[in-house]
Amino acid sequence: MKKVLIIGLLAVMFTSGIGCTNMNKTQQGVASGAALGALGGAGIAAISGGAAGWGALAGAGIGALAGGIVGHEQSKGNSW
What Cα–Cα distance (Å) separates residue 62 from each residue in 7, 38, 40, 69? 21, 9, 11, 11
Mean of all residue pLDDT scores within the chain: 81
d(CA 12, CA 42): 14
Q: Which residue has the higher pLDDT, 19 or 55?
A: 55
Model pLDDT for residues 14-30, shown as the tens digit of each residue: 666 656 567 788 888 88
Contact in structure between 35 and 63 (CB atoms under 8 Å): yes
Percent of the residues in the chain that have a pLDDT greater than 70, as a whole number: 74
Residue 3: pLDDT above 80? no
Distance CA 1, CA 20 (A): 29
Q: What is the pTM of this model?
A: 0.68
Domain chopping of the chain, boundaries: 25-75
Q: Are 29 and 70 in contact (CB under 8 A)?
A: yes
Question: Can you give the pLDDT at residue 62?
Answer: 92
